[in-house]
Amino acid sequence: MLTSALGPAEQVPFLDAGYRVCQVLRLLEIGLTRTMEAPPPEPGLRIRPARRRDMRPILELDAAAFDAFWRFDAEALAEAAHATPRNRRRVAQRDRRVVGYTMTGRSGRTGFVQRLAVDPDHHGRGTGRILLVDSLSWLQRSGATRALVNTQPGNDQALALYRSTGFTQRPEGLAVLRLDRDKSSGG
């Protein structure tokens, strides 16, 4: 059994119950006090709201962008969309093909970059930065004063993007915990 990503205080009862750390995440934060300008998209790139028909291309993109542990299926994508009271999904499209997407949520004055993925064939073209700034601008317009994002410690591209946009790493991180069933209990 796996938990969601938990902060240090939230982990305590699970660790006491025999769970162990399975994955560690870096937690980054940005204050939304200044106006952010997205770089101009490269010619042919269009940012638009995600639609129902984008589900399959988004899931295919997610599978290409994340390793198996972090990959979303349709159920996980729906759960993420409902994890916050307000949310927004956007896609980056080139030649009618989804090449990036973001899912952003807000609860109270805190925003969350819940998911950001770019097709590996389109890395380094500014698509991730455009989607990120678009998300942060929406959060700011909708009343958020700060935003959080998490990523794996070894995801250097994502960490560089977040830091270059103004995110700073919080001292505490997050962890996904796992409870392995005792083989002797029949399970």
pLDDT tens string 88-129:
999 999 999 999 999 999 999 999 999 999 999 999 889 999
pTM (2 d.p.): 0.89
pLDDT at 182: 65
More confident of the two residues 39 and 185:
39
pLDDT in tens, 36-75: 777 777 788 999 999 999 999 999 999 999 999 899 999 9
Best CATH choice for the domain 25-171 from the list 3.40.630.30, 3.30.420.40, 1.10.340.30, 3.40.1000.10:
3.40.630.30
Cα-based distances in Å from 135 to 13, 32, 116, 165: 34, 11, 10, 12
Give the C-alpha separation, 177 to 24, whole Å: 9
